[in-house]
Amino acid sequence: MYARVTLAQLQPGKVDELLHFLHDNVVPAAQAQQGFKGLLLLTDETTNKGIAIALWETEAAMAASEASGGYYQVQIARGVHFFAAPPVRETYRVNIQV
């Protein structure tokens, strides 16, 4: 399993609006992606930081979702107004999941 971690500095006061956007738009789009296994969203409203962890069955499925014009870029572009700075994307292999 693989994880895409997106680190974001959020606009102040936008966390609740972001949660609605994710629930209504990003989650259904993610669930439609081949190999998508789950999503975690962590937020700290005191620092306006957010961490999204998307889990993927294979590295190829994760890479396909990041391809030019693919799911990931579309969702980031749709939610750009929630970010105070461009989000940072990192990828990891999941070694233990319980």
CATH of the domain at 84: 3.30.70.100
Average per-residue pLDDT for the chain: 93
The answer to whether position 84 is within a domain reads yes
The answer to whether position 98 is within a domain reads no
pTM of the model: 0.90
Which segments in the chain show pLDDT lower than 50?
none
14: its two tokens? 């936008």
- CA-CA distance, 85 to 87, in Å (whole number)? 6
Residue showing tokens 């700290």:
44
Type of residue numbered 45: E
The answer to whether position 87 is within a domain reads yes
How many domains does the chain contain in total?
1
Type of residue numbered 46: T
3 neighbors 54 (Cβ within 8 angstroms)? yes
Range of the domain at 60: 2-93
The answer to whether position 36 is within a domain reads yes
Which pLDDT tens digit goes with each residue over 48-76?
Answer: 999 999 999 999 999 988 886 678 888 88
The answer to whether position 41 is within a domain reads yes
